[in-house]
Amino acid sequence: MSGTKKVGKQTVKFTHQPKIISTASIVGPKEGEGPLGRYFDKVLTDNIYGEKSWEKAESKIFKETIELAIQKAGLTEDKIDFLLCGDLLNQTIASNFAVRDFPIPFLGLYGACSTMVEAMVLAAMLVDGGFADYVVAGASSHHDTAERQYRYPTEQGVQRPLTAQWTVTGAGVVTIATEGTGPNITYATIGQVIDLGQKDADNMGSAMAPAATDTIFQHFKDTNHSPDDYDLIITGDLGKLGKKLTQEMLKQKGLDLTGKLEDCGVLIYSDKQDVHSGGSGCGCAATVFSGYLYNQLTNKKYKRIMLVATGALLSPTSSQQGESIPSIAHAIVVENN
Amino acid sequence: MRQYIYAFVVGGIICVIAQVLMDTTKLKPAHILVLFVTLGGVLSALGVYQPLVNIAGAGATIPIPGFGHAMVSGVLEEIEKSGIVGVFSGGLKATAIGLSAAVLFGYIMALLFNPKG
């Protein structure tokens, strides 16, 4: 490979440094009550949002978030070259139904809860490669649609074990552009699928921790950076258990991230909210980045951060057949110059 | 009064066993449901469950093993009356009220209420 943009085994370096010129986030009431509540653009009063089903509500939330991101970038729909979206539902219907009214070329994505970073990486590549001036990328999840599909209908009121995480209701969308003001995307490390045989769908943090560990470790190996080059390394939705595991596994590999490692799923809810191990879902990394992290970057609180979104690539069918949970993690580096 | 206390204690113990299983094993709610119905049936066939019902009343019949017990005692009764076909008819006959009520009330609740999250 002759590419000057590929660094090491799994990392790309963006030579033209695509900019994130706007972000938008809309969340449900529970996320709004959490510690990051004030950073989101809009907090809903209930999860159904005036619709007849959770699925319709999720698509409506996603659609409005996309509209808001385009509007906040000072653009109109016809200026957007590509739209890249994904979600957790079968056949990614939350995205497909959300974008059907936009006259924008669309690529649907699935990377489970890693989808936000997958979309951002591909959008940055399209922009950096000269294929587009403006790309909108986003991801969404909804507590009740995810529960219905992956676990039990909420109406059934099944008890959740303490290792379980709470799927975030919300959508986060970013506009990535060649020109404009906003933090730059400088590196991305694309993860490989890792499966160490964990089978418990109520403990996805520990299933995904090895994937997060692998991608973070590979990023430092590929770039020769050190943890001190980063103000924050934040995983998507490992939750409390997964975060602790990742930190320990990285330490064993000789990478000490004490004080640097955070997790969107841990930050989004407070302990009082009774969500057990923390938040999860595509919307977790998507809303925390679009709301809180982007705000901290534009206010120069952080100079360089790495967002590592983690995905558990299971399906209800694979769980029922007793399969383990393959996992993935993608990392993207965003910095102020 | 005494039966109320027994109902509370027996029903409580059944639920505690289920809770401990949920918290300490990998069993899912559906596993426990099936396990408890079957267990109620087996205990009923061994003649252990009826004495529990006698002392604790609803404390033993309302938790899900009570459903297994009702099916098995229905089968046994029906065998007395109509022979071997009772194996097929007795269980459902004995639990028909419970099953129909569950379907009817479930339907009514679904019509009346709309979850908001």
Mutation site for B-interface testing, chosen from A48, A148, A199 by largest number of B Cβ within 10 Å: A48
Is residue A109 in some structural domain? yes
Please check whether residue A3 lies inside any domain of the structure.
no
Note whether A224 contacts B: Cβ–Cβ < 8 A. no
Write out the DSSP string of A299-311.
Answer: TTS-SEEEEEEEE
Grade residue A1 by pLDDT with cuts at 50, 70 and 90.
low
Average pLDDT, chain B: 93
Tell me, yes or no, whether A270 and A161 share the same domain. Answer: no
Q: Are residues A27 and A145 in the same domain?
A: yes
Residue A134 confidence (pLDDT)? 98
Interface of A with B in 287-306 (CB under 8 A): none
Residue A151 sits in the same domain as residue A286: no
What is residue A19's three-state secondary structure? strand
Nearest CB partner across the interface for B116, out of A47, A159, A200: A47
Mean pLDDT across A222-251: 96
In degrees rounded to 5, what are phi and psi of residue A136? -105, 130
CA distance A87 to A59: 10
As a whole number of angstroms, the distance between CA A299 and CA A295 comes to: 6
Q: What is the pLDDT of residue A156?
A: 77
Once rounded to an integer, what is the mean pLDDT over residues A54-71?
Answer: 98
**Is residue A118 pLDDT above 70, yes or no?**
yes
Residue A3 clears pLDDT 70, i.e. is over it = no
Q: What is the pLDDT of residues A24-41, one digit of tens each?
A: 999 999 999 999 999 999
B29·A158 Cβ contact <8 A: yes
Query: Three-state SS for A232?
Result: strand
Where are chain B's structural domains?
Answer: 2-112
The parent domain of residue A140 ranges over 16-177
Are A214 and A118 within one domain?
no
Nearest CA distance, A171 vs chain B (angstrom): 17
Spatial CB neighbours of A240, under 8 Å, sequence gap ≥ 6: A205, A263, A266, A277, A278
Least confident of A1-15, A19-33, B87-101: A1-15
d(CA B33, CA B63): 10
- Under an 8 A CB cutoff, do A152 and B29 touch? yes
Are A29 and A126 in the same domain?
A: yes
In this structure, the answer to whether residues A110 and A189 fall within a common structural domain is no
C-alpha distances (whole Å) from A122 to each of A68, B30, B81 are 21, 41, 73
Residue of B28, B107, B108 to mutate, interface with A, max A Cβ within 10 Å: B28
Q: How many domains does chain A have?
A: 2
> What tens digit of pLDDT does each residue of B17-71 get?
999 998 898 888 889 999 999 999 999 999 999 999 999 999 999 999 999 999 9
DSSP string, B12-70: HHHHHHHHHHHHHS---HHHHHHHHHHHHHHHHHTT-HHHHHHHHTHHHHSSTHHHHHH
What are A225-230's contacts with CB under 8 Å, separation 24+?
A227/A255, A227/A256, A227/A257, A227/A260, A229/A304, A230/A260, A230/A304, A230/A305, A230/A306, A230/A333
Beta strand A6-7 with A11-13: parallel, antiparallel or unpaired?
Answer: antiparallel
Residues A165 and A256 in one domain: no
Task: Let me know whether A197 and A136 are in one domain.
Answer: no
Instruction: Give residue A144's pLDDT.
Output: 93
- Which chain A residues touch B22 with a CB distance below 8 Å? 159, 161
Average pLDDT over residues A289-297: 98
For the segment B75-101, the average pLDDT, to the nearest whole number, is 94
**Is residue A202 domain-shared with residue A130, that is, in the same domain?**
no
Binned at pLDDT 50, 70 and 90, residue A137 comes out as: very high
Tell which wins on pLDDT, A151 or A89. Answer: A89
CA atoms of A14 and A302, how far apart (whole Å): 20
The confidence score (pLDDT) of residue A13 equals: 97
Is A175 in the B-facing interface, judged by CB distances under 8 Å?
A: no
For residues A255 and A163, the model is more confident at A255
Region A160-171: mean pLDDT is 90
Nearest Cα to A80, choosing from A62, A99, A56?
A: A99
Distances in Å between the Cα of B13 and the Cα atoms of B16, B23, B39 are 5, 15, 14
Could you give the percent of chain A with pLDDT greater than 70? 99
Cα Dmax for chain A: 56
